[in-house]
């Protein structure tokens, strides 16, 4: 889908290292090949501005184009044009728009800026990824880490960011909570900073479980102690904030573990609790550049016992020109206005029996105008976007209550098929539109699964706690492509994909996997 409107570039920021993409196009019925070069110039919110700097056979075009980040998750292309628009006809606009889409998709796999990747849903546009690996095959490098953690590494260009307690052999000292910056080239440490002091361990996580986030200008991290710190890309601290000092102690039974969401210049953080506190749950947003609180909204719930607690991460829902922040937990899924935090809609049904132990771990997924939410194994709910108020019934697309529902791992979908894996490693595929079972549950490698699913290159990656990755063929047929073992260490982290490589964190090492 292509639409044309005047481009607005005010408030945009320059990209420190402009990326040039080369695209070759052969039009149907023609032997002529057109070569286009696009340069990514600047970014404003979730919009990328690009310039077509040269083209063979087509001449030079002096316009500036923009494309929303939403193409990553939906393929819905909306472009704007500026400069010399009168010189171009609509056909040229459409062709160049499609070329821009191809160019940006070609570079889409270069970054993994937050826990569930560039599209916030565990999907990567990368191609040519390895299917098989071991400690002696397709490992580009490995780096020993100070300690285990459930946090996922995030990648931007030449830098990898990850959090860890300071309790290993390589780094001496007490139980500090660290943010490290490593080189993607060889895993060497570029810099390291202390986020806070005082670690705590639960069954499956510690105070470094939340994954960091980055937008290429800064990296931000939240700890289980509630401390937020922002640094520039070279490790200079920009600002910090203490959630517990400002808003009261966390009251989750198993400690705080939600990763933040970075979107459109704001950092969104959820605190959903109630087991060990009477304080309300809330969602808070910060200006990512300054640390100024943009807003804070309480999120009420009538969930009993432990059920108010959630370890989920907010996700972005984009549809029909609208954007909402989706939060799941405390027996409800809610959609919020990112500008104000106001609750736009609410859906119940995660805990139909009002059980006292229905804490939610798996995060929601928002793709192609649909919101998918898992609970404690079942039900799994799918809602259509576009509602206001109580949408529990009005916008319920389907409800699944079968065997093999996930507890800890988050699901993934491409909008056609919805994939999930339960804690015992049984994978299931549903029709994303209807909830009908396509296949499963099917057994993957023996072992417990806590890492979330990742979909890339036509493959589904399932990582278990023994550092074994089952690679499945994505689609309507259950097919195991490979079972890959590494060091056997305790593995909770979801994998990251960037620059044509896979980054996988085990108990003791970070592995860079590539062909």
HEC sequence for 425-461: CEEEEEECCCCCEEEEEEECCCCCCCCCCEEECCEEE
Phi and psi at 66, nearest 5°, equal: -135, 150
In a domain, 6, yes or no: no
- In 3D space, the residue among 284, 232, 290, 222 whose CA is nearest the CA of residue 256 turns out to be 222
In a domain, 101, yes or no: yes
Contacts within 8 Å (CB) and 24+ apart, 171-178? 171/146, 175/199, 177/207, 177/208, 177/223, 177/224, 177/225, 177/227, 178/146, 178/208
Domain boundary among 109, 125, 157: 109
Domain boundary among 78, 109, 140: 109
96 and 203 part of one domain:
no
User: What is the model's pLDDT at position 286?
Assistant: 99
In a domain, 279, yes or no: yes
The yes-or-no verdict on residue 272 having pLDDT over 90 is: yes
Domain around 77: 13-109
User: What is the model's pLDDT at position 202?
Assistant: 81
pLDDT tens figures, 357-414 = 999 999 999 999 999 999 998 899 999 999 999 999 999 999 999 988 999 999 999 9
pLDDT tens figures, 421-461 = 999 999 999 999 999 999 999 999 999 999 999 999 999 99
- DSSP three-state, residue 490: coil
User: What is the model's pLDDT at position 337?
Assistant: 98
pTM: 0.82
User: What is the model's pLDDT at position 103?
Assistant: 52
In a domain, 256, yes or no: yes
The yes-or-no verdict on residue 87 having pLDDT over 70 is: no
H or E stretch including 216? none
103 and 122 part of one domain:
no
Q: Based on the structure, what is the number of domains in the chain?
A: 2
495 and 508 part of one domain:
yes
Is residue 357 within 8 Å of 274, Cβ to Cβ? no
374 and 494 part of one domain:
yes
pLDDT tens figures, 310-326 = 999 999 999 998 999 99
454 and 358 part of one domain:
yes
350 and 438 part of one domain:
yes
Is residue 227 within 8 Å of 247, Cβ to Cβ? no
Kindly tell me the sign of the dihedral angle through the C-alpha atoms of 156, 158, 484, 171. negative
With a CB cutoff of 8 Å and minimum separation 6, the contacts of 339 are none
86 and 217 part of one domain:
no
What is the chain's Cα-based Rg?
22
Better-predicted residue by pLDDT, 19 or 29: 19
């Amino acid at each position: 889908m292509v639409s044309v409107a005047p481009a607005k570039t005010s408030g945009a920021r320059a990209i420190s290292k402009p990326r040039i993409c080369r695209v070759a196009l052969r039009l149907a019925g023609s032997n002529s090949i057109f070569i286009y070069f696009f340069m990514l110039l600047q970014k404003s919110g979730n919009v990328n501005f690009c310039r077509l700097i040269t083209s063979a056979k087509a001449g030079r075009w002096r316009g500036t184009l923009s494309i929303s980040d939403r193409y990553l998750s939906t393929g819905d292309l909306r472009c704007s044009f500026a400069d010399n628009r009168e010189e171009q006809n609509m056909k040229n606009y459409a062709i160049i728009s499609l070329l821009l889409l191809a160019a940006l998709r070609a570079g889409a796999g270069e970054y993994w800026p937050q826990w569930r990747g560039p599209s916030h849903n565990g999907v990567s546009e990368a191609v040519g990824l390895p299917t098989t690996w071991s400690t002696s095959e397709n490992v580009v490098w490995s780096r020993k880490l100070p300690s285990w953690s459930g946090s996922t590494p995030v990648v931007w260009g030449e830098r990898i960011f990850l959090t860890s307690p300071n309790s290993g052999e390589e780094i001496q000292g007490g139980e500090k909570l660290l943010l490290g910056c490593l080189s993607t080239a060889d895993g060497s440490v570029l810099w390291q900073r202390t986020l806070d002091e005082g670690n705590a361990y639960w069954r499956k996580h510690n105070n470094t479980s939340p994954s960091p986030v980055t937008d290429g200008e800064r990296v931000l991290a939240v700890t289980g102690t509630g401390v937020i710190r922002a640094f520039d890309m070279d490790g200079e601290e920009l600002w910090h904030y203490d959630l517990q000092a400002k808003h009261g102690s966390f009251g989750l039974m198993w400690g705080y573990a939600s990763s933040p969401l970075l979107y459109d210049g704001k950092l969104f953080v959820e605190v959903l609790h109630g087991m060990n506190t009477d304080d309300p749950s809330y969602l808070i947003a910060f200006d990512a550049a300054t640390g100024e609180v943009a807003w804070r909204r309480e999120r009420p719930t009538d969930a009993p016992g432990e059920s108010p607690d959630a370890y989920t991460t907010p996700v972005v829902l984009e549809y029909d020109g609208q954007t909402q922040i989706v939060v799941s937990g405390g027996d409800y899924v809610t959609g919020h206005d990112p500008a104000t935090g106001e609750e736009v809609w609410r859906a119940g049904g995660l805990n139909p029996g009002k059980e006292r132990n229905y804490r939610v771990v798996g995060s929601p997924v928002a793709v192609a105008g649909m919101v998918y939410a898992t609970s404690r194994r079942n039900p799994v709910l799918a809602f259509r976007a576009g509602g206001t108020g109580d949408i529990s019934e009005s916008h319920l697309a389907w409800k699944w209550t079968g065997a093999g529902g996930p507890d800890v791992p988050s699901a993934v979908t491409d909008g056609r098929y919805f994939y999930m894996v339960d804690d015992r490693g049984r994978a299931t595929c549903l029709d994303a539109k209807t909830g009908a079972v396509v296949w499963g549950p099917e057994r993957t490698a023996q072992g417990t699964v806590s890492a979330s699913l990742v979909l890339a290159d036509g493959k589904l990656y399932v990582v278990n706690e023994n550092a074994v990755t089952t690679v499945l063929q994505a689609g309507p047929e259950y097919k195991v492509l490979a079972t890959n073992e590494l060091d056997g260490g305790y593995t909770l982290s979801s994998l990251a994909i960037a620059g044509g490589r896979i980054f996988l964190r085990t108990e003791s090492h970070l592995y860079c996997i590539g062909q």
